[in-house]
Amino acid sequence: MNYRDRITIESGKRSGKPCIRGMRITVYDVLSYLASGMTYQEVLEDFPYLTQEDIFACLSYAAEREQQTLLIQA
């Protein structure tokens, strides 16, 4: 999965935060829901315009950001 096909950053939308497919829901929003204990199925039920691939893209984006942080600190 290439998250770059789904995660967009637009300066005028949500203060330039990474969003899903140009919508107003951010990667942070999705990750926060998952971190609070929601299952991906619950997220999809609450936000029917999202897909499982969108959630995987958020996780991939976060994993790559974490890896970049570790590389910078090394």
Cα separation of 12 and 43, whole Å?
Answer: 25
What would the pLDDT profile of 10-47 be if each residue is shown by its tens digit?
999 999 999 999 999 999 999 999 999 999 999 999 99
Residue 65 makes CB contacts below 8 A (sequence gap 6+) with none
CATH at 25: 1.10.10.10
Domain count, the chain: 1
Full-model pTM: 0.87
* Residues near 17 by beta carbon (within 8 Å), at least 6 away in sequence: 9, 26, 27, 28
Block residue for tokens 């107003």: 24
> Residue 1: which pLDDT band, with cuts at 50, 70 and 90?
low
Domain that includes residue 36, residue range:
3-73
pLDDT at 62 > cutoff 70: yes
Are the beta carbons of 42 and 31 closer than 8 angstroms? Answer: no
Looking at the DSSP bridge assignments, the partners of residue 26 are: 19
